[in-house]
Amino acid sequence: MGTRYNLIAGQSVERLAALSDGLFAVAMTLLVLDLKVPVAQGIETDTALLAALRDLAPRLVVYLMSFLTLGIFWVGQQTQHTHYARSDRHLTWIHLGFLFAVSLMPFSTSLMAEFITLRTALVLYWLNIVALGALLWVSWRYAVRSGLVEPGVAEAVDRSVRRRIYIAQGLYAAGAALCLFSTYWSIGFIMLVQMIYVVGPRTGILSRI
Q: Enter the pTM of the model.
A: 0.84
Residue 9, pLDDT score: 54
Residue 27, pLDDT score: 94
Residue 189, pLDDT score: 93
Taking only the tens of pLDDT, the chain with its 209 residues reads 445 655 555 556 788 888 899 999 999 999 888 777 767 667 767 777 787 778 778 888 889 999 999 999 999 999 888 888 888 888 999 999 999 999 999 999 999 988 989 999 999 999 999 999 999 999 999 988 888 887 776 677 778 888 888 988 999 999 999 989 999 999 999 999 898 888 865 544 445 55
Largest CA distance in the chain: 78
Residue 174, pLDDT score: 93
- Rounded to whole angstroms, the Cα distance separating 42 from 153 reads 61
- Rounded to whole angstroms, the Cα distance separating 208 from 198 reads 13
Residue 2, pLDDT score: 47
Q: Which residues make Cβ contacts (< 8 Å) with residue 194, sequence separation at least 6?
A: 65, 68, 69, 72
Residue 5, pLDDT score: 56
What are 149's strand-pairing partners?
Answer: 84
- Rounded to whole angstroms, the Cα distance separating 52 from 35 reads 12
- Rounded to whole angstroms, the Cα distance separating 12 from 87 reads 6
